[in-house]
Amino acid sequence: MQAAPRTIFGDSHSFCLGTNRFRRERRGPVSEQTDRAVRVPFHEGAMTGVIKQVKVLYIIGWGRSGSTLLDNLLGGIDGFFSGGEIRNLWKEGLIERRVCGCGRPINECPVWSAVLDRVGTSSARNLDPREIIDLERSGARTRHTWSILRRTQSNDVTGQAAAYREVMREVYLATFAVTGATVLVDSSKVPAQAALLSSMSDLEPHYLHLVRDPRASAYSWQRQKARKDLDESEVMPRFGLIKNGLSWLEFNLGAEAIRRSAGVRSFTLLRYEDFMAEPRAAINHIARAIGESPGDLPISNDRTAHLTGNHTVSGNPSRFTTGTVEIRSDDEWRTKQATVDRLVTTSLVFPMLRRYGYQVRVN
Ligand SMILES: [Zn+2]
């Protein structure tokens, strides 16, 4: 007898194809950058042998919006590779030695160790993870999104941002070479890094903007949740109401800026609530939006997922769940969130709530 499926919560308005609640935009060809203003330190142009145009599907949005589950499900499509939060390869993977979705430390994982080998050998010198983290902090944080987009228009991305872009480009290309995938899903979610993707040569940038009701993410960030990627007793970081509200605004404004920018092949807006309501339809639509055929999805009966494991760099602990699971929306916040918490969050974000179809009223 088959075991009853467990439940996996997408910790992150209803999803209806063909309505304005699910928006997709297609853009023209990527404008090629022909001249880089800075000779970046980690790349001497030696990443040869990768000639096919490959697609990176970058998920943008604030945390606790269901991106890990979405990334994992997309990875079940033939030709797709679920990379998790690839930006955490350096700090969480190499320095903190947290484990890959496959359960091995990153530098022992067959996929990421091979990727790192390729990136290291293609560079002028060995990559120093701390140096890359410094580049990210000084050139590719969310607040840099607008300047990166502005400078991309004039082909003038320089300094730390350009250097970080080159490192991540090499990582993406190496991942394609190692996995043989044609679509790489990166659920790092940071708008500035998504903005850099739009001017990476040899890569086709596609974007998925994932939004969740910020009252729900506020509640989720306050819950204690086991981390599961290093020490059994360690829990996920928790954020307060102000941090959640302001970051929700900043990340979504950053995503909107990318939607308006040039160099974007496709941009899809998906709400957590719609994803949870019809996960199978959501995955199908995303695949088609980037010009791929979804084929046989790892989802049956609309919401029963069959998860076979992954090589995600980082993300929600749900990435370690395998087997048959029921996908269900995590709505505990609706009945258990303190009214004052909901009021504070609503006050911070109300100008943008209606934009995504969320009610402004607190009760
Ligand atoms: Zn792995």
Distance 241 CA to ligand 1 centre (A): 34
Around ion ligand 1, residues with a beta carbon closer than 5 Å are: 100, 102, 109, 311
Distance 308 CA to ligand 1 centre (A): 13
Distance 304 CA to ligand 1 centre (A): 24
Q: How many angstroms separate the Cα of 210 from the Cα of each of 21, 261, 325, 354? A: 12, 18, 22, 15
Distance 266 CA to ligand 1 centre (A): 29
Distance 175 CA to ligand 1 centre (A): 12
Digitized pLDDT (tens) for each residue of the chain, 363 residues in all? 445 556 665 653 222 222 233 344 443 332 322 222 222 223 233 344 444 569 999 999 999 899 999 999 999 999 999 999 999 999 999 999 999 999 999 989 999 999 998 987 655 456 788 999 999 999 999 999 999 999 998 889 999 999 999 999 999 999 999 999 999 999 999 999 999 999 999 999 999 999 999 999 999 988 877 767 777 777 777 788 999 999 999 999 999 999 998 767 799 999 999 999 999 999 999 999 999 999 888 888 888 998 889 999 988 888 888 889 889 899 999 999 999 999 999 999 998 999 999 988 776
Distance 16 CA to ligand 1 centre (A): 34
Q: Which one, of 200, 137, 206, 130, lies nearest residue 166 by Cα? A: 200
Distance 360 CA to ligand 1 centre (A): 42
Q: How many angstroms separate the Cα of 216 from the Cα of each of 48, 64, 76, 238, 334? A: 45, 8, 27, 14, 8
Q: Which one, of 52, 60, 347, 26, lies nearest residue 215 by Cα? A: 347
Q: Which one, of 10, 96, 47, lies nearest residue 303 by Cα? A: 10
Distance 230 CA to ligand 1 centre (A): 14
Q: What is the pTM of this model?
A: 0.84
The H or E element spanning position 315 is: none
Distance 17 CA to ligand 1 centre (A): 34
Distance 111 CA to ligand 1 centre (A): 6
Distance 294 CA to ligand 1 centre (A): 24
Distance 325 CA to ligand 1 centre (A): 21
Distance CA 310, CA 84 (A): 9
Structure token pair of residue 348: 């911070």
Amino acid at 210: L
CATH 3.30.200 fits 6-34+50-356, yes or no: no
Say what the pLDDT of residue 44 is. Answer: 30
Say what the pLDDT of residue 11 is. Answer: 53
Distance 309 CA to ligand 1 centre (A): 9
Q: Which one, of 42, 67, 82, lies nearest residue 271 by Cα? A: 67
Distance 110 CA to ligand 1 centre (A): 6
Distance 239 CA to ligand 1 centre (A): 28
Distance 100 CA to ligand 1 centre (A): 5
Distance 157 CA to ligand 1 centre (A): 32
Distance 357 CA to ligand 1 centre (A): 38
Say what the pLDDT of residue 8 is. Answer: 63
Say what the pLDDT of residue 61 is. Answer: 96
Distance 195 CA to ligand 1 centre (A): 27
Distance 101 CA to ligand 1 centre (A): 6
Neighbours of 172 (CB within 10 A): 24
Task: List, in order, residues 6 or more apart from 37 with CB less than 8 Å away.
Answer: 155, 156, 157, 158, 162
